[in-house]
């Protein structure tokens, strides 16, 4: 059973794979990145190479774990956390640990090995987001789970171990540190001003204008003022909403359209960079024992969004040791380049 | 002039190179890592290829910027922060910014292009640490500087752009987030218990024993309970001391010995992995305006240490979006492997 461990000095959690017998040579020879569909466990006909599916869309014959699907969700074969067991929290001297209850799933976004997000239709991307929404809603029913983090690693330098287009989710028994920080900031802002800090951000950035990368009817794409990476971008729904699970089918279609447009511009500017996409949305609605009022204003104070993080600069010693990023590209420049790029791969 | 920018939602600082004109194609073609000393600006005879030196040890002829040195410190040619100018802090709507006053220096550790830390003598490593100590002491005299972070990036995946052995320092007008967190934890622990939390950690881990990787007369090397990376290691002086600048020559020699021994074991186990070394020590002694009492207990509550971070796993979407690490190697296993390895490259 893996463990979540807390370090009281750095105030950081780690998920430690305690049961694994370490073999040093595994780290010494990194696997080469292969782009061939041969041997890929996410192809049609390879359904037995993954654990049995949790969800599939688009299959006509209703026979699970067979070809014909358009999106398929399976448990991760090497899960960081496991769904079986009872949650236990305990102290170990000055440390804390929680056993590794949770979930780790893979969303196979398309049967097509080479269909990057920028290559797919808005309808195909809508289907991927529908799978995100459905898994989020389903896992929230589990009282042990406090948060479901949906994310995508594209390319080796962004942490992808398989090239076939896929996203993942990790559901944790503790709300992750980065999310807690955002939730606290949003709640405090509401407590003082009765306004959503993200709505304030959108309002301000529309007025400034120079960090707006793209805008559609219902979405705005901003380059954050203190971006950690060149071309880091936040995708926000313009209308206030705390929860991605409440997004309508129409909104998810528009999200597919704008993400496709954006990633085509990125491909044009940065030549298909490795990247991460991360969804930040409201936590599971289960109150903590003794804190039934903890998230009472969340509907008003929080605002879901997707972070796009291109991995074209490194997190080196300074960044790790300080918590500061060094970003060589002003977000105002990145926004201008994105506005001027076109989504069909041609300069305007 | 670069800028430090603060994001009120994520509560993160970034250093933004605002003056730089971005050219997207720069990111598209990463430079290959070359191991040849040809064209290396850190070789004997290439002294004019760096900005004029700040410090050099070991040269007999006392002629600056000529060969013959053993350790040489120069300003970074592409600095993240600059030493010239007056510090200004201002708000920009809901954001904050501070102009990029600070320092960014390179410590060329040896004239020998191929002499990794594990290959050098303890005396050579002592000289490197003496240069760290001298630059730290000197930069602290600048009232604008609140912190000096000393670090080393080894290998491309750890962020090194040049292979010639070197470390760096970045001096900032704000104490970095990760350090502030540690300082606060240490101060609060002292306030409650009148004990140093690091001394408590050493005491506890010596009793548990299973996370102790190495121990010498004055140093202990621990695998942190919630290690973020496989084989992450903290090097701590066993005797309480808040400030690396106060370390004696004898202690720096022993540090050189134990670091060399440790890195030889790491090389044996992990086949010369990319890594970061990061020094965490007390901040500059200048009180903040209005907070003259801020660091009054620091002499008692803080404890300097060096973090060793091997970069053999990736910071992917989950890690970035959650703040959690996923570590596939239990620190207890890593400590056992390190204890059983030998420093001459042979299995015992």
Q: Measured between CB atoms, which of A92, A197, A226 is closest to B12? A: A226
Q: Which residues of A198-211 are buried (b: 16+ CB within 10 A; e: fewer)?
A: bbbbbebbeeeeeb
Locus of tokens 């290396």: B40
Average pLDDT over residues A298-311: 96
Contact in structure between A100 and A1 (CB atoms under 8 Å): yes
Q: Which of residues 72-131 of A touch B (CB under 8 A)?
A: 80, 92-95
Nearest Cα neighbor of A87 from A15, A3, A197 is A3
Q: What are B34's two structure tokens?
A: 């070359």
Contact in structure between A223 and B95 (CB atoms under 8 Å): no
Query: What band does A286 get if pLDDT is binned at 50, 70 and 90?
Result: confident
Res B17: pLDDT: 83
Residue B211 neighbours by CB under 8 Å, 6+ apart:
B205, B222, B223, B224, B225, B331, B332, B335
Nearest Cα neighbor of B232 from B297, B289, B309, B305 is B309
Per the model's pLDDT, the better-predicted residue between B285 and A135 turns out to be A135
Q: Which residues of A touch B6 (CB under 8 A)?
A: 226
Nearest Cα neighbor of A135 from A104, A99, A113, A161 is A104
Q: Which of residues 166-185 of B touch A (CB under 8 A)?
A: 168, 170, 172, 176-179, 181-182, 185
Residue B20 neighbours by CB under 8 Å, 6+ apart:
A328, A329, A330
Q: What are B171's two structure tokens?
A: 């001096």
Query: How close, in Å, is residue B226 to chain A by CA atoms?
Result: 5
Average pLDDT over residues B124-150: 96
Eight-state DSSP code of residue B53:
P
Lowest mean pLDDT among A56-60, A176-180, A283-287, B31-35: B31-35
C-alpha–C-alpha distance, residues A244 and A2, integer Å: 29
Contact in structure between B244 and B279 (CB atoms under 8 Å): yes
**Identified catalytic residue from A164, A166, A242, A303:** A166
Eight-state DSSP code of residue B101:
B
Average pLDDT over residues A165-176: 96
Distance between start and end Cα atoms, chain A: 54
pLDDT digits (tens, 9 = 90+) for B78-97: 899 998 888 899 999 999 99
Res A35: pLDDT: 78
Residue A138 neighbours by CB under 8 Å, 6+ apart:
none
Contact in structure between B173 and B104 (CB atoms under 8 Å): no
Distance of CA A65 to the CA centre of its chain: 25
Phi and psi, residue B291, nearest 5° = -130, 55
Nearest Cα neighbor of B226 from A323, A11, A324 is A11
Locus of tokens 């780690």: A14
Span A102-340 CATH architecture: 2-Layer Sandwich (3.30)
**Identified catalytic residue from B104, B164, B166, B303:** B166
Q: Measured between CB atoms, which of A9, A158, A322 is closest to B176? A: A322
Res B348: pLDDT: 38
Return the number of other C-beta atoms located less than 10 Å from residue A133's C-beta: 21
Q: Which residues of B touch A27 (CB under 8 A)?
A: 230, 270-271, 273, 312-313
Contact in structure between B203 and B212 (CB atoms under 8 Å): no
Contact in structure between B303 and B240 (CB atoms under 8 Å): yes
Contact in structure between B37 and B49 (CB atoms under 8 Å): no
The greatest distance separating any two alpha carbons of chain B, rounded to the nearest whole angstrom, comes to 62
CATH number of B3-21+36-340: 3.30.428.10
Instruction: Name the helix (H) or strand (E) containing B2.
Output: none
pLDDT digits (tens, 9 = 90+) for B193-242: 999 999 999 999 999 999 999 999 999 999 999 999 999 999 999 999 99
Q: Report the complex ipTM.
A: 0.92
- Nearest 5°: the CA angle B106, B107, B110 is 135
How, if at all, do strands A147-154 and B233-237 pair?
unpaired
Q: Is A290 on the interface with B (CB under 8 A)?
A: no
Q: Measured between CB atoms, which of A12, A152, A314 is closest to B226? A: A12
Q: Is A344 on the interface with B (CB under 8 A)?
A: no
C-alpha dihedral over A330, A333, A334, A335, to 10 degrees?
120
Contact in structure between B82 and B145 (CB atoms under 8 Å): no
What angle do the packed helices B177-193 and B197-208 form, to 10 degrees?
80
Contact in structure between A266 and A336 (CB atoms under 8 Å): no
Q: What are B148's two structure tokens?
A: 């000096």
Return the number of other C-beta atoms located less than 10 Å from residue A70's C-beta: 18
- Nearest 5°: the CA angle A317, A321, A327 is 65
pLDDT for A22 beyond 80: no
pLDDT digits (tens, 9 = 90+) for B154-208: 999 999 989 999 999 999 999 999 999 999 999 999 999 999 999 999 999 999 9
Alpha helix ranges (H) inside A97-196: 122-139, 177-193
Q: Cβ A22–B185 below 8 Å, yes or no?
A: no
Contact in structure between A202 and A236 (CB atoms under 8 Å): yes
Nearest Cα neighbor of B65 from B40, B78, B48, B77 is B48
C-alpha–C-alpha distance, residues A211 and A203, integer Å: 12
Please classify residue B156 by burial: count the beta carbons closer than 10 Å to its beta carbon, then call 0-12 exposed, 13-18 middle and 19+ buried.
middle
Nearest Cα neighbor of A77 from A106, A100, A54 is A106
Nearest Cα neighbor of B120 from B107, B129, B110 is B110
Interface test with B, best of A317, A320, A325, A338 (most B CBs within 10 A): A317
pLDDT digits (tens, 9 = 90+) for A38-51: 999 999 999 999 99
Q: What are A33's two structure tokens?
A: 């990145």
Contact in structure between B220 and B258 (CB atoms under 8 Å): no
Contact in structure between A260 and A122 (CB atoms under 8 Å): yes
Distance of CA A227 to the CA centre of its chain: 17
Res A62: pLDDT: 82
B166 is annotated as an active-site residue: yes
C-alpha–C-alpha distance, residues B211 and B203, integer Å: 12
pLDDT digits (tens, 9 = 90+) for A138-155: 999 999 999 999 999 999
Residue B240 neighbours by CB under 8 Å, 6+ apart:
B196, B198, B199, B300, B303
HSE-up (13 A, CA, CB side) for residue A113 = 15
Average pLDDT over residues B30-43: 79
Return the number of other C-beta atoms located less than 10 Å from residue B141's C-beta: 10
Locus of tokens 């690693």: A153
Res A347: pLDDT: 41
Query: What band does B23 get if pLDDT is binned at 50, 70 and 90?
Result: low
Q: Which residues of A touch B170 (CB under 8 A)?
A: 318, 322
Contact in structure between A231 and B24 (CB atoms under 8 Å): no
């Amino acid at each position: 059973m893996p463990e979540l461990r807390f370090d009281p000095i750095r105030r950081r959690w780690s998920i430690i794979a305690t049961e694994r017998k370490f073999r040093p040579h595994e780290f010494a020879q990194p696997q080469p990145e292969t782009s061939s569909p041969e041997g890929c466990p996410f192809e049609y006909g390879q359904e037995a190479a993954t654990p049995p599916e949790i969800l599939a869309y688009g299959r006509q014959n209703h026979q699970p774990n067979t070809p014909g699907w358009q999106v398929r969700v399976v448990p991760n074969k090497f899960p960081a956390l496991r769904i079986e067991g009872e949650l236990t929290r305990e102290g170990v001297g000055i440390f804390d640990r929680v056993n590794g209850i949770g979930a780790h799933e893979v969303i196979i976004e398309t049967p097509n090995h080479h269909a990057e997000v920028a290559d797919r239709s808005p309808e195909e991307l809508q289907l991927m987001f529908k799978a995100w929404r459905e898994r989020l809603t389903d896992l929230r029913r589990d009282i042990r789970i406090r948060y479901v983090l949906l994310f995508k690693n594209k390319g080796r330098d962004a942490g992808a171990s398989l090239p076939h287009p896929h996203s993942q989710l990790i559901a944790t028994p503790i709300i992750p540190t980065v999310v807690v920080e955002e939730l606290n900031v949003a709640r405090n802002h509401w407590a003082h001003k009765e306004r959503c800090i993200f709505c304030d951000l959108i309002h301000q950035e529309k007025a400034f204008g120079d960090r707006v990368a793209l805008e559609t009817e219902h979405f705005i794409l901003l380059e954050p003022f203190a971006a950690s990476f060149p071309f880091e971008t936040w995708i926000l729904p313009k209308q206030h909403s705390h929860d991605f699970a409440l997004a309508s089918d129409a909104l998810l279609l528009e999200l597919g359209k704008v993400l496709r447009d954006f990633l085509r511009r990125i491909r044009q500017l940065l030549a298909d960079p490795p990247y991460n996409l991360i969804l930040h949305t409201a936590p599971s609605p289960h109150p903590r024992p003794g804190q039934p009022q903890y998230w009472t204003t969340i509907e008003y104070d929080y605002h879901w969004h997707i972070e796009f993080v291109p991995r074209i600069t490194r997190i080196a010693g300074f960044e790790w040791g300080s918590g500061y990023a060094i970003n060589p590209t002003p977000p105002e420049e990145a926004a201008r380049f994105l506005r001027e790029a076109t989504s069909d791969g041609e300069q305007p």
